Amino acid sequence: MSIILKSSAFDHQSEIPKQYTCEGPDISPPLSWQNIPQSALSLLLIVDDPDAPDPSAPKLTWVHWVLYNIPPTSVGLPEQVAPKELPPGTLEGKNDWQQTGYRGPCPPIGRHRYFFKLYALDTILMDLKSPNKAQLEQAMVGHIIDHAELIGTYQK
C-alpha cells in the first residue's frame, strides 16, 4: 500500500483554512500519515507552491517548509508544531524566506496550490546544516522508497 498523507484541517484539493496562512496566526497545520514502508529509515517533508508569484504565469516554486530525518515510526505532526516538539532526530531545512520552520500561504495574486510532499527514504541523511529544498532533493536521489502528496489551495 502507498503512503497516505492527510490533514484534519483540510481535505486534498480543498482550501487551506486562514489560521495556517499569513492572514491568520500562520501556524502549521496538523498532518498525519499511514502506510510507511517497513524498509524506511527516515521521512522527509517538503511544502511548496509551484504557482508563484501568479498562477496564470508561474515563474518559480516557493518553498514554505522543509523537514528531514523524521523517524519512520512517527505518525504525524501536531498543529502549530514547535521545533522542540518535532519527533526526535528530525532536522529542519530552510524555506525560501531563508528561515527554518513553517511559513504558510501568502499568495500575492490568484489561487495557489500548496503541495505537502512526504517521502519515505531508505537512509538517514547526514546533518546538512539547514539545507534548502534543492540540497535535500539532491541528497535523497536514489533513496526514495515511496512518497505521498496532499494539495491544499489558498487565495487572499
Per-residue pLDDT tens digits for 19-64: 999 999 999 999 999 999 999 999 999 999 999 999 999 999 999 9
Q: How is the chain classified by DSSP, letter by letter?
A: ---EEE-SS--TTEEPPGGGSTTTT-PPPPEEEE---TT--EEEEEEEEEEES-TTS--EEEEEEEEEEE-TT--EE-TT--GGGSPTT-EE-B-TTS-BS------SSSPEEEEEEEEEESS-----SS--HHHHHHHTTT-EEEEEEEEEEE--
How many domains are there within the chain? 1
Would you say residue 68 lies in a domain? yes
Task: Indicate which CATH number applies to the domain containing 106.
Answer: 3.90.280.10
Instruction: Tell whether 132 is covered by a domain.
Output: no
The answer as to whether 115 is a domain residue is yes
* Residue 33 included in any domain: yes
- Residue 1 reports pLDDT greater than 90: no
Residue 10 lies in a domain: yes
Q: Which domain holds residue 65?
A: 4-127+137-154
In a domain, 39, yes or no: yes
List, for residues 65-92, the tens digit of each pLDDT value. Answer: 999 999 999 999 999 999 999 999 999 9
Note the pTM of the prediction, 2 decimals. Answer: 0.96
pLDDT value, residue 50: 97
